[in-house]
Copies of this chain bind each other. A is one copy, B any other.
Amino acid sequence: MELYLIRHGIAEAATDDIKDEERQLTKEGRQKTEKVARRLRKLGLHFDLIVTSPLVRAKQTADILMAAGLSSQMEECTHLVPDGHIYSWVVNWLEPKNFAPNTQLALVGHEPCLSHWAEIIVWGEVKERLVLKKAGMIGVKVPETGSVLGCGQMFWLTPPKYLL
């Protein structure tokens, strides 16, 4: 299985009137994310499923990926919120046995969760050594059998500026 961990695009700041979970993509964030999505499609990517955090800025990012034709299926998953836990997510949800071989799965969420999870999947621990920009992505190949923790192979890490 290949996992693509995608961070949401640039979003408006939280204020007294706007709760964190309601923050929307800015105009710039939307435009840049649309460009990234078009480039990913042009590069031939297609996801069997896009799983997104239920927060507005992540859902809007996932909607843009869907609109670019990067997948025909999208789900929300509460484990992908900013304070989500990789262990419950992996143990309850991601286990490779739940997916067909060679599944291409995109996760849309938040920092620092996504880069921490990538580190846990690839190296088995968090050292905060990966830089994941907004609308950037990490690609990790996960073994088809057995635990995914500490057994992944990272094949891609890119900021959006190299996809524009």
List A residues at the B interface (Cβ < 8 Å): 43, 122-123, 127, 129-131, 141, 152-159, 161-163
- Shortest CB-to-CB span from A6 to chain B, Å, is 14
A122-B129, A129-B122 given as contacts; is B156 within 8 A of A158 (CB)?
yes
Q: Establish whether residues A162 and B129, one from each chain, have CB atoms under 8 Å apart when the complex forms.
A: no
Q: Establish whether residues B131 and A154, one from each chain, have CB atoms under 8 Å apart when the complex forms.
A: yes
Residue from A127, A157, A159, A163 having most chain B Cβ neighbours under 10 A: A157
- Shortest CB-to-CB span from A40 to chain B, Å, is 9
Stoichiometry (number of copies): 2
**In the complex, A27→B122 CA distance in Å?**
35
- Shortest CB-to-CB span from A3 to chain B, Å, is 14
Q: Mind listing 8 A-B residue pairs with CB under 8 Å?
A: A43-B161, A43-B162, A123-B127, A129-B154, A130-B153, A156-B157, A156-B158, A162-B163
Q: Establish whether residues A131 and B153, one from each chain, have CB atoms under 8 Å apart when the complex forms.
A: yes
Q: Which of B122, B127, B129, B162 contacts A156 (CB 8 A)?
A: B162
- Shortest CB-to-CB span from A122 to chain B, Å, is 5
A123-B123, A162-B43 given as contacts; is B157 within 8 A of A129 (CB)?
no
Q: Establish whether residues A129 and B158, one from each chain, have CB atoms under 8 Å apart when the complex forms.
A: no
**In the complex, A152→B128 CA distance in Å?**
10
